[in-house]
Amino acid sequence: MSAVALSAAEQALVTNDKPVLIGSNAVESADHAKWLTGASDNVTLATDLANADFPTTRAYDRFLHSVTKPGSAAGTYYFAFDLGTSAPDYDCAMIAGHNFGGIGMTITIEVADNNTFGSPSTIATWFGSQPSTRLVKFDLHHTGSDPMRYTVDTSTPYAQYVRIKIVKTTGTMIPEIGEFWLGRRRHLPYKFDNTLDDKRTESRVSDFEARSGVTTRYTFNKGQAKRTGTTLIDGTANIATVDSWWSECAQGSKPFLYCENPSTAPEATQLMHQIGGLDFPQTLPNARQLTLEMRELYPFTLTET
């Protein structure tokens, strides 16, 4: 498999809780995506066991609320992908919009060099009773302890085959997943210069006031996060990092992942839209002022408990 350990500087960005922007998702390039039950089922040729009303494409449509699931219950399921030969690099993972909360199980993400997953390597694991929050890993690795970045080589199918293995501790279940993300992290080198207002949330309601004066409030949604922050980005490499993220989310036309504290609160990773365009003017010969104004997409992390 083709993988390299992240540099000490890259690892320090996570340890020190520097903000992460993730615009790319390797799963979106998949030639095949299937729910399977056999440990050696061929992801290219096997029959997809997905419920016809909940297709696998929902796992990478950048909408957390639209789920995919198999058509029947089983004790072990494999959600398998052939990423093709042109998928972007990936070094972090998220499973969101799932129905795993409070259920005892083992969840692993495995990679292999063949479509029957012979001798797979585990790059992420969650054990025991699962939380209702999204499952996020910024330390993918199959050996040692250093986080790694995985590459799908164009000449050899390294890390091309990926699957989520779901093993329920007892009994059976029909697993649901809203979004599976294999991303390439883009770290901001600094925290925001101004107060991020990290608890700013909004709810959308409609009030009906009767002639008697009684007011009835109808709630459309609640807990949507909005974030606005500004920071100076200096150095050619750091400026290129922002440019890469902007390109990977199609110049802001696609939702992207944002995590304010990847070390202490990875489960708070949010699916965001940038409001307006990229505000990134040059302020010094080799520095630019980055302003992010982001709005969270449903479902909101505040309501995931």
**CB 73 within 8 Å of CB 168:** no
Which pLDDT score is estimated for 157?
65
Whole-angstrom Cα distance, residue 17 to residue 19?
Answer: 6
Cα 177–247–197 angle (5° rounding)?
A: 70
Only one residue has tokens 């920071």, namely 231
Which pLDDT score is estimated for 303?
87
AA letter at 259: C
pTM above 0.85, yes or no: yes
Residue 232 CB partners (closer than 8 Å, separation 6+): 190, 193, 283, 287, 288, 289, 290
Only one residue has tokens 């198999």, namely 70
In the chain, domain spans: 3-187, 201-303
Q: Which helix (H) or strand (E) holds 175?
A: none
AA letter at 29: S
CATH architecture observed for domain 3-187: Sandwich (2.60)
> SS3 for 55-115, per residue?
CHHHHHCCCCCCCECECCCECEEEEEEECCCCCCCECEEEEECCCCECCEEEEEEEEECCC
Which pLDDT score is estimated for 197?
79
Regions of the chain short of the pLDDT cut 50: none
Whole-angstrom Cα distance, residue 304 to residue 286?
Answer: 41
Class of residue 295 by CB neighbours under 10 A (exposed 0-12, middle 13-18, buried 19+): middle
